[in-house]
Chain A
Amino acid sequence: MFAHLKTAHAESSVLVYTGLSLGEIWQRPGLARILQGLGQGALIDVLVAGRYNQQLPVNRGLRSSRNQELVFLTNRHSPEEFEFDNEAEAILGEDGSVVITGFPTAEMLVQFGKGL
């Protein structure tokens, strides 16, 4: 799938979230090969690795908790690009539906998880 994305959508970047830590990925040969790109260059540009830890919330950028690692596997992006304030969108439909998208902070998710 990643190889297909890289060839069919070469102009797009591939960013992957995984609950596995980098160490856990390297212990699994199949996954490690994806990171190494099977000799064709990395198939993933940016990897966010590690489980969300609600004791270590962070409200900035792509990471949700401080233990998560932002790994740059190609030169396509730099860490500075991902240093942004979290912003979420609440989309309120005329039918009374509410959907939250974007990058809510951990506390926003907790609040909205309780319902409105």
Chain B
Amino acid sequence: MSAYVSVDVAFEDPEAILEALKELGFTTVEVHDTPQQLMGYSGDLRQQRANIIVRRRHIGHSSNDMGFIKGEDGKYSLYISDYDRNAVPGKLGLKGYAAFEGKLKQTYAMSKIKKQAAKERWSFKMDQAKGGKLTIRLSKFQ
């Protein structure tokens, strides 16, 4: 049946989060079972903790650590400092935090679908359309 289904995106899969971060250029990432404290730009320990951490030296000169912490519902939330809400999008050539958040979700969804396609043996073909929209064609041959 022809479908038009809107899908909710939530950061639940740590592997797909790592893939998404890698796609965005953050290739050095720490993963911890127990959340670890984040550090500020001067090396100070912050109150915030995270399971998946990009350390400040891999973000930018005056940046703080950013990371994802796993909630009781199994979903991960991004912690990013006020400074980096402006700095990180700029580093990636994006205009504003909302654009960064959208790009992160888009890249995460792409990684998640790619992983699902491999698991379910769907064929996977991706096209980058103008304006940054991604179209993934999925099919299952009989």
Contacts and interface: CB of A to CB of B under 8 A. Distances in A.
Contact of A89 (B6, B104, B110, B136): B136
B42 interface: no
A87 interface: yes
B105 interface: yes
Contact of A105 (B98, B135, B140): B140
Contacts of A89: 135-138
Contacts of B109: 90, 92, 96, 98, 116
Contacts, number: 120
B: contact size bracket = 35 or more
Nearest to B5: A100
Residue picked from A17, A48, A86, A113, most chain B C-beta under 10 Å: A86
Nearest to A94: B132
Interface of A: 17, 48, 52, 59-60, 62-64, 85-105, 107-109, 111-113, 115-116
